[in-house]
């Protein structure tokens, strides 16, 4: 399995539904299907880029999918583990909603948001929310985030915030530090809106 590739941007070809990046690594050109939003994050042609990859082996071909971060790649893998969700639909979900909104919709069981993605019907949205929230909950337990942080954050909000931040690639220690600090903020204290906590936590961890 190829975890990531670091090389020179040789070409970006935009087809009808797919964008193919050719990345030259040690004089070998790798064709990688990337998300449209990743295109804007790439350096100019001839410059070095690092792309996190997922390799899919089919009967007639090997396909590399590329992502801007390991967390995005890992979420793609989780999405494709859901029955009825193939690689192209997973890419559409990530590109349409973005990491944060997609994870929040899954954790919050917001099937209406998930169904905004072309090709995602009500039943698929329900499966995504049900199966992936269960996996993210297990991930949270494995990270050791099962104890109360402080009185300033409601328990239900804390659980949702932790699952979203973990899925976005932050470590358990980073999440715990952010929530312990933010729980002392009187303006956030006892707010019932997970989005406020997530936004503030990302801001704190991005400093």
pLDDT of residue 13: 93
Average pLDDT over residues 182-205: 80
pLDDT, tens digit, for every residue of 21-46?
999 999 999 999 999 888 988 999 99
- Split at pLDDT 50, 70, 90, the class of 158 is confident
pLDDT of residue 182: 84
Q: What is the mean pLDDT of the chain?
A: 87
- Sign of the Cα torsion 43, 2, 78, 145 reads negative
Average pLDDT over residues 62-67: 94
pLDDT of residue 65: 96
- Angle at alpha carbon of residue 66, lines to 62 and 69, rounded to 5°: 145
């Amino acid at each position: 399995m190829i975890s990531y590739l670091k090389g020179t941007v040789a070409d970006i070809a935009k087809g009808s539904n797919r964008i193919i990046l050719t990345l030259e690594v040690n004089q070998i050109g790798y064709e990688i299907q990337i998300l449209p939003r990743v295109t804007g994050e790439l350096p100019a042609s001839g410059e070095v880029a690092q792309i996190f990859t997922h390799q899919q082996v089919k009967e007639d071909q090997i396909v590399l999918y590329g992502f801007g971060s390991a967390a995005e790649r890992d979420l793609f893998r989780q999405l494709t583990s859901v029955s009825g969700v193939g690689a192209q639909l997973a890419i559409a979900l990530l590109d349409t909603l973005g990491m944060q909104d997609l994870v929040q919709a899954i954790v919050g069981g917001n099937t209406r948001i998930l169904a905004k993605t072309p090709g995602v019907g009500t039943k698929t949205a329900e499966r995504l929310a049900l199966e992936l929230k269960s996996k993210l909950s297990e991930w949270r337990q494995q990270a050791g985030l099962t104890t109360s942080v402080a009185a300033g954050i409601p328990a239900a909000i804390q659980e949702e915030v932790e699952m979203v931040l973990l899925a976005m690639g932050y470590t358990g220690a980073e999440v715990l530090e952010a929530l312990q600090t933010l729980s002392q903020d009187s303006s956030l204290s006892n707010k019932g809106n997970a989005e406020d906590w997530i936004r503030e936590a990302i801001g704190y961890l991005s400093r």
